[in-house]
Amino acid sequence: MTGAPPTECLEACDVHFRRGTRTILGGVTLSLRSGEIVALLGANGAGKSTLFRILLGFLKPEQGEIRLDGVPLGTFSRRALAQRIAYVPQAHVAPFPYSVRDVVLLGRLAETGIFRAAKAADHQVVNEILERLAITHLAERPYTEISGGERQLTLIARALAQGASILVMDEPMTGLDFGYQVRLLQQLVSLAGTGHTIVFSTHNPEHAVQIATRIAVLRDGAIMADGPPAEIITPPLIHTLYGVEVSTLTNADGQMLIVPVMEPVRL
């Protein structure tokens, strides 16, 4: 007996967007389904951040629409959207030295509103999320004094505190050391396993191959490819996007490896 197929929860339908006379997005259609991890690849200037801002409702498309559970995004209040969709930025600097706990607690505003003080139940939610992401030991540390990887986990915790089931993440691994990149990838897989939908942009195709259930490729303002990693990531595609030659290999566990083709160094 098989379970029901994943349902589409967030859709971009023929989305167009321009800045002045420059077309940024020229008819983008992309669907996100419950429990998926979708990696968005594209060179700088391809329109990835603009697409994310439109998915979040921060920008309005000139043509087309975004639908959440089949309903146009514009019919939702900002508070209702915050309870469904959360944005995890690439970098964030708090204006005050809030503790990690307080930064995560800010996520509860989507549930409580700004005029109600946090209750015991809100603090319990925060405690559970800190434990889930293994950052309880950071709870009382100033957010401004922790590492980049710890900040990224804190921002994910804040997004979860909103109650959001859809996480939109703009290049979340940028600037993180190797250890935190691995930890973050593992956390994203864990979140998808509990039903969260995750879409993230990256310039590292290996990150996409390692955890994504689907890869979408944005080029010249349009989705040029969308499908399972093994079908999408090919040497010709990498060359088209980034102008470099690569080889793809498969290790003993069946995982794809992407290896740059480089001239040998002669000493």
Asked if residues 168 and 160 have their Cβ atoms less than 8 Å apart, the reply is: no
Question: What is the spatial distance between Cα 39 and Cα 127, in angstroms, rounded to a whole number?
Answer: 29
Asked if residues 138 and 150 have their Cβ atoms less than 8 Å apart, the reply is: yes
Residue ranges of the domains in the chain? 1-84+165-228, 92-163
pLDDT, the chain, mean: 90
How much is the average pLDDT of 217-228? 95
Helix ranges (DSSP H) in the chain: 48-55, 78-82, 100-105, 109-112, 120-132, 148-161, 178-193, 205-211, 229-232, 235-242
Residue 1 is predicted with a pLDDT of 40
Which of 217, 246, 212 lies closest to 229 in space, CA to CA? 212
Question: What is the spatial distance between Cα 114 and Cα 116, in angstroms, rounded to a whole number?
Answer: 6
Confidence category of residue 246, pLDDT binned at 50, 70, 90? very high
Whether 264 has a pLDDT exceeding 90, the answer reads no
Residue 10 is predicted with a pLDDT of 95
- pTM of the predicted structure, to 2 decimals: 0.89
Lowest mean pLDDT among 52-66, 101-115, 134-148, 238-252: 101-115
Confidence category of residue 155, pLDDT binned at 50, 70, 90? very high
Of all helices (H) and strands (E), which one includes residue 186? helix 178-193
Residue 114 is predicted with a pLDDT of 67
Residue 196 is predicted with a pLDDT of 95
Asked if residues 58 and 42 have their Cβ atoms less than 8 Å apart, the reply is: no
Cβ neighbours of 182 (radius 10 Å): 15
Write out pLDDT tens, residues 34-66. Answer: 999 999 999 988 999 999 999 999 999 999 999
Helix (H, G, I), strand (E, B), or coil: what is residue 185? helix
Q: What is the dihedral of CA 86, 11, 202, 193, to 10 degrees?
A: 70
Write out pLDDT tens, residues 156-202. Answer: 999 999 999 999 999 999 888 899 899 999 999 999 999 999 999 99
Question: What is the spatial distance between Cα 241 and Cα 152, in angstroms, rounded to a whole number?
Answer: 27
Residue 6 is predicted with a pLDDT of 57
Confidence category of residue 2, pLDDT binned at 50, 70, 90? very low
Write out pLDDT tens, residues 65-109. Answer: 999 999 999 999 998 999 999 999 887 777 778 999 999 999 998
CATH architecture for residues 1-84+165-228: 3-Layer(aba) Sandwich (3.40)
